[in-house]
């Protein structure tokens, strides 16, 4: 069943067609990777769907309802959440307090409720459970600023997850971490979203990660959709390979990652 449908969605910045007539259906429960060269429009697409940018034209249907003109808050309430390319944490608060505050904000309360959050057993129980799901229970009392980069990325995703979305946009959740940490981060994220039946759209540059974890891949180029399909279909799509890695041949992705490893 379709969870999200964009119809002829457009967002322009002057002459830049950041999102250019994108019609896309995201089905309930799938993990979709959104890939494309720098400037392809991936983040802009996420921003328009999550209301950080206003669409110039087109329609966004979420669970069949037109949310195109709804605010960020209204879309979060409807079940759309996102994390950002640059993590969005309160650095001077502990991992636990960051999650507790996300839970409070879901309830429409504000940062000034931090002290109260710590005494609210429903919130503390849920925050600890979320930290556990993201493998961060041992980091509960550490300041966000002191966490390793991979832990910060996971905590950032945990905050978006704490909003209890039906649809979660994750903007480059593995950027800036080692290859080994990428696997661990994606294992954790995929485990949580699949376990909870959350639909996820992941912006990602690392094609090894993309091919390993995606149910479906959407390739953007110059604001538009260049291709979409299963990992096997995208892996063997020569136009996609030329656009993403500048190499031709049906095995281009495999050779490229063998080369990178070897």
Question: Does 87 sit near ligand ATP (CB under 6 A)?
Answer: no
Question: Least distance from C-beta 93 to ligand ATP, angstroms?
Answer: 27
Of residues 101 and 218, the one with the C-beta less far from ligand ATP: 218
What is the distance between the alpha carbons of residues 34 and 210, in angstroms, rounded to a whole number? 9
Q: Which of 4, 42, 182, 231 binds ligand ATP (CB under 6 A)?
A: 42
Question: Least distance from C-beta 49 to ligand ATP, angstroms?
Answer: 12
- Give the interface size with ligand ATP as a residue count (CB under 6 A): 11
Q: Which stretch binds ligand ATP (CB under 6 A): 39-47, 54-62, 226-234, 245-253?
A: 39-47
Q: Which of 29, 39, 58, 183 binds ligand ATP (CB under 6 A)?
A: 39
Of residues 42 and 153, the one with the C-beta less far from ligand ATP: 42
What is the distance between the alpha carbons of residues 179 and 173, in angstroms, rounded to a whole number? 13
Contact 237, 29 (CB under 8 A): no
Question: Does 173 sit near ligand ATP (CB under 6 A)?
Answer: no
Q: Could you tell me which of 42, 68, 56 has the C-alpha nearest to residue 12?
A: 56
Q: Give the DSSP H or E segment for 159.
A: helix 149-161
Question: Does 41 sit near ligand ATP (CB under 6 A)?
Answer: yes
Contact 82, 156 (CB under 8 A): no
> What are 201's strand-pairing partners?
32, 169
Of residues 59 and 222, the one with the C-beta less far from ligand ATP: 222
Buried b / exposed e along 134-171 (16+ C-beta atoms within 10 A):
bbbeebeeebbeebeebbbbbbbbbbbbbbbbbbbbbb
Give the burial class of 195: count Cβ atoms within 10 A of its Cβ; 0-12 exposed, 13-18 middle, 19 or more buried: exposed
Question: Least distance from C-beta 35 to ligand ATP, angstroms?
Answer: 9
Question: Does 243 sit near ligand ATP (CB under 6 A)?
Answer: no
* Secondary structure class of 177 (helix, strand, coil): coil
Question: Least distance from C-beta 180 to ligand ATP, angstroms?
Answer: 23
Contact 35, 201 (CB under 8 A): no
Question: Least distance from C-beta 18 to ligand ATP, angstroms?
Answer: 3
Q: Which of 3, 4, 9, 36 binds ligand ATP (CB under 6 A)?
A: 36
Question: Does 40 sit near ligand ATP (CB under 6 A)?
Answer: yes
Contact 238, 249 (CB under 8 A): yes
The residue ranges that bind ligand ATP (CB under 6 A) are 13, 16, 18, 36, 38-44
């Amino acid at each position: 069943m379709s969870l999200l449908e964009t119809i002829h969605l457009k967002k322009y910045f002057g002459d830049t067609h950041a999102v250019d007539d994108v019609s896309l259906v995201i089905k309930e429960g799938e993990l979709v990777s959104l890939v494309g060269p720098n400037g392809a429009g991936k983040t802009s697409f996420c921003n328009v769907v999550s209301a950080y940018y206003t669409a110039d034209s087109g329609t966004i249907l979420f669970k069949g309802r037109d949310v195109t003109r709804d605010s960020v808050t209204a879309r979060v309430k409807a079940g759309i959440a996102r994390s950002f390319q640059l993590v969005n944490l309160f650095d001077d608060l502990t991992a636990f307090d960051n999650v507790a505050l996300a839970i409070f904000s879901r309830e429409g309360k504000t940062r000034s409720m931090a002290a109260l959050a710590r005494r609210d057993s429903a919130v503390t129980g849920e925050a600890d459970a979320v930290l556990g799901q993201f493998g961060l229970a041992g980091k509960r009392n550490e300041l966000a600023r002191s966490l390793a980069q991979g832990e910060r990325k996971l905590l950032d995703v945990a905050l978006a997850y704490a909003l209890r979305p039906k649809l979660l946009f994750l903007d480059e959740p593995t950027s800036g971490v080692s290859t080994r940490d990428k696997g661990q981060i994606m294992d954790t994220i995929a485990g949580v979203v699949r376990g909870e039946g959350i639909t996820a759209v992941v912006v990602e540059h690392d094609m090894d990660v993309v091919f390993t974890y995606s149910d479906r891949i959407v390739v953007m180029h110059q604001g538009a959709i260049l291709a979409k399909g299963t990992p096997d279909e995208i892996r063997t799509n020569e136009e996609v390979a030329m656009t993403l890695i500048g190499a031709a041949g049906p095995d281009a992705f495999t050779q490229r990652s063998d080369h990178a490893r070897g």
